[in-house]
A and B are shown apart, each in its own frame.
Chain A
């Protein structure tokens, strides 16, 4: 009995190992291609390991397009989105969890009911609203409209529900103002929530494609993803350059993932955050 169990475990391990190789192959191929010389790209038998890695390919891509600008834009958008999203969703989540006010339940229900409505469905009116606001081609347009996340609010309220009221009461007796209580008492107690919301917001905003595609037309405001997509179907760009850019574009998210792997996977498994 025990023997057959260990055998099954071993077979399972081998299957998973094989699946892991398939999963990782595209990344390996991306790196391998990015380091190839132009001649090696068109070899009849694909070359797995370039004989003379062309690290200069990575420098050359900045000559193709102002990628330093695109990276700057993506960096600004992703980090300000994190700050704004975390702040307003935690504040609102805290209020919904710990204050009584008229319309509390109704408003929360309305927000919840839109949880399943994807942005794709409302892209047309949002484009029009942003053009009326004069926010097309601006950081404001890239950052602000996406900051109020139904999911972030839901997660925040859930988390804040668990914070004991006594903590708040004690601070009130000490004469602390309500906003100060939020900043000084509540926020330090929400580290896991802040971490998970920050990580996911960063990844979502960094990877976002449709939203920036709709609201930016000027190349100055392009994000990395738009810069990447603008090469689709451009025949003058070779695949080694294209893979080098793609690799640079995924590295920030990969780093975040590798650092916070445990937290991310647990967050997904327990709350089912949309991937």
Chain B
């Protein structure tokens, strides 16, 4: 329906260039800053190039180097850790929140709005707030846990806690997003299903297992894919909260690629890291979609 039929179209088809003119600004920008860079990344990943001079082709040397680069492997593990820790928690809390919000209660709209606020705030500001909350000596979190008898923790400056700290802040940021998406999904489920289940005497757990969860499947798949990508792209919070440290204990892949490119100046090597990152995301999202189809 949206396409004009050929007959209607003849009069203005005389100006065949016009559509191209209309999409030109968009397409030129898209080509220059998206398509060419994608191709460019792949090409550069096979070269040694430190911005000065010309890129030298060096085959798969960058990739071999990456595999034996302990810091890169650590950043990969940290990225996995971050993603695996944040995806189920944000989705789980988001779903619980959405199911509660879907009940009759006062201030529903306001509560929904409140949960969404952390999502719209810049991650740099978020990182700074959490850095202050988690500060070892005067941080308010260490004060709160001291009330229940736990001693002060070095949240951001110890190897063991630097990742969990950023994960905690990420959960605070992301739960609201998952909640709003899940709420949209829940509101699409017809109440008839639940009424029928109630007549059959199904309890809350059964209703969840046989109605809510299966009918939210596409929402869950969508959120999982989006959240995995979000996890793999993590950077801002790490940059502001821990700076990737102490040591490399909280350096994630984007941060490592950033350092290689803009601190060390190894453009070819950084590009190879980017290609690996891209492949990982592609693989994980494909596995997720495939695994979901099988069920």
Contact = CB atoms under 8 A, between A and B. Distances in A.
Given A46-B143, A242-B132, A129 B4 contact: no
Interface of A: 8-9, 12-13, 15-17, 19-20, 22-24, 26-27, 29-30, 33, 41-43, 45-46, 88-89, 91-92, 94-101, 104, 107, 110-111, 114, 116-118, 120-129, 144-148, 150, 153, 160-161, 165, 169, 172, 178-179, 182, 203, 206-207, 209-210, 214, 225, 228-229, 231-233, 239, 242-243, 246, 249-250, 253-254, 256-258, 261-262, 264-265, 268-270, 272, 274-275
Interface residues of B, number: 101
24 contacts: A13-B106, A16-B100, A22-B172, A23-B117, A26-B130, A30-B129, A30-B132, A33-B132, A41-B138, A98-B4, A107-B27, A122-B41, A125-B36, A125-B37, A125-B40, A144-B29, A165-B2, A172-B12, A178-B12, A225-B124, A228-B124, A232-B128, A232-B131, A268-B181
B29 A148 contact: yes
Contact of A243 (B20, B23, B132): B132
Contact of B121 (A116, A232, A239, A250): A250
Contacts of B199: none
B283 interface: no
B2 A265 contact: no
Contacts of B23: 91-92, 95-96, 107
B190 interface: no
A124 B44 contact: yes
Given A23-B118, A165-B8, A270-B184, 12 more contacts: A26-B129, A91-B23, A101-B20, A110-B35, A124-B257, A125-B37, A178-B15, A209-B239, A239-B135, A253-B122, A264-B120, A269-B183
A275 B38 contact: no
A268 B123 CA distance: 19
Contact residues of B: prevailing secondary structure: helix
Contacts of A123: 257-258, 261, 274
A138 B129 CA distance: 29
A225 B84 CA distance: 28
A242 B3 CA distance: 55
A124 B267 contact: yes
A269 B122 CA distance: 21
Contacts of B36: 125, 129
Contact of B243 (A91, A110, A232, A246): A232
Nearest to B22: A95
A124 B261 contact: yes
Contacts of B109: 262
Contacts of B290: none
Contact of A265 (B116, B129, B225, B271): B116
Nearest to A15: B100
B120 A95 contact: no
B149 interface: no
A9 to B, nearest CB: 5
